[in-house]
Amino acid sequence: MTVRPVVHVGVDGSWRDTGALEWALQESLLRQEPLQAVHVIDDRLRHARGWEPDAVDDASTELVGQVQTYLDDTPGELDHEAGLLVGPPARTLVDAAAGSRMLVVGRRGLGTFKRLLIGSTSEAVVTHAAHLTMPVVIVPSGWKPTDHAGPVVVAVDDADDNTAVIEFAIEAAAERNLPVRLLHVWDLPAVYSWDAMNSSGAGAEWAENARRHLENLAAEWQNKYPDATVQIEARRGHAVDGVVTGAEEADAQLLVVGSRHRTRLMSVLLGSVTRGALHHATCPLAVVPVQV
């Protein structure tokens, strides 16, 4: 059976106005692999007061037909498909994407956390997908790749488990002929006061350590991928603000972060950076599961 590399959720009548399908189509074209679009009917709507099950089904069927027509009219010879499923939206969508390279979903609004139009949340999708170690790309409404010219930015920390995150970023950058920028945001522990920091030189020392860490990391990955253009940036400040602002100022075409998945506990730890980026990133965000 052919493995579909990208699954995109088609969303009610406003799917034409979101950026997720366009991003998924671009990814499909770059990889020369087909795309599958999936619309999920939340079965709870069929039992909700004031909802007519037949009307819900008819509207969803029409939506999928419109998406399929749009995909059929897309230039190229790839065999894209659109389908309809029923069930809990986040889990059903993730289950449908099992075995795919990635799952792409949309997010309404910029700078604020919004529910997916199918009634689930991007955070729920990320949580479910992590158990399958499948990356999820969340695309803000109205995103147009042609409006941006920046690099692929990947947030890295001091941990040793950045491998999967950086590899995803380098692959995405290579597909688009873009540089990849390793972004590390650091700050002094709260025990340092401004006076103590200035008098002891702690700020300068931590800045140098952060820079050296990035330089060593960049050299390692440049050696592994000699054709890649690897940039570095170290910023001081709050981690979430630093990552989101760093991506915005770079005009990033993609921001890549990791989510830690503890296999034994079958739980997902969405750290502050990952959750904050889910809420506030203004460019497409790729969340890559990292097993610890």
- Averaged over 233-258, what is the pLDDT? 94
Can you give the pTM of this predicted structure?
A: 0.87
Question: Tokens 């409404």 identify what position?
Answer: 141
pLDDT on residue 48: 66
Residue 284 has pLDDT above 80, yes or no: yes
253 and 284 Cβ atoms separated by less than 8 Å? yes
pLDDT on residue 124: 83
DSSP states of 100-115: SSEEEEEE-SSSS--B
Of 47-61, 190-204, 266-280, the least confident: 190-204
- Averaged over 171-199, what is the pLDDT? 78
- Averaged over 92-117, what is the pLDDT? 71
Query: In one letter, which amino acid is 125?
Result: V
Distance CA 77, CA 98 (A): 24
Of 3-12, 67-76, 124-133, 175-184, the least confident: 3-12
Q: How confident is the model at residue 136 (pLDDT cuts 50, 70, 90)?
A: very high
Percent of the chain residues topping a pLDDT of 90: 43
Question: Tokens 């950058």 identify what position?
Answer: 173
Name 5's Cβ contacts closer than 8 Å, sequence gap at least 6. Answer: 27, 28, 31, 33, 34, 35, 100, 101, 102
pLDDT on residue 116: 40
pLDDT on residue 285: 96
- Averaged over 81-106, what is the pLDDT? 89
pLDDT digits (tens, 9 = 90+) for 107-132: 865 433 333 433 346 788 888 888 77
Pull the structure tokens for residue 272: 């502050």
DSSP states of the chain: -PPPSEEEE--TTTGGGSSHHHHHHHHHHHHT--EEEEEEE-HHHHHSTT--HHHHHHHHHHHHHHHHHHHHTSSSS---EEEEEES-HHHHHHHHHTTSSEEEEEE-SSSS--B-TTS-BHHHHHHHHHTTT--EEEEETT--GGG----EEEE--SSS--HHHHHHHHHHHHHHT--EEEEEEE---TT--HHHHHHHTHHHHHHHHHHHHHHHHHHHHHHHSTTS-EEEEEEES-HHHHHHHHHHHTT-SEEEEEEEEETTTTEEE--HHHHHHHHH-SS-EEEEEEE-
Beta-sheet pairing, 152-155 with 136-140: unpaired
Q: How confident is the model at residue 104 (pLDDT cuts 50, 70, 90)?
A: very high
- Averaged over 141-148, what is the pLDDT? 82
pLDDT on residue 70: 93
131 and 278 Cβ atoms separated by less than 8 Å? no
Alpha carbon 142 to chain centroid, angstroms: 15
Question: Which residue in 91, 154, 95, 157 sits closest to 124, CA to CA?
Answer: 91
Of 22-31, 109-118, 258-267, the least confident: 109-118
Selected residue with higher pLDDT from 10 and 117: 10
Alpha carbon 279 to chain centroid, angstroms: 12
pLDDT on residue 99: 86
- Averaged over 44-58, what is the pLDDT? 71
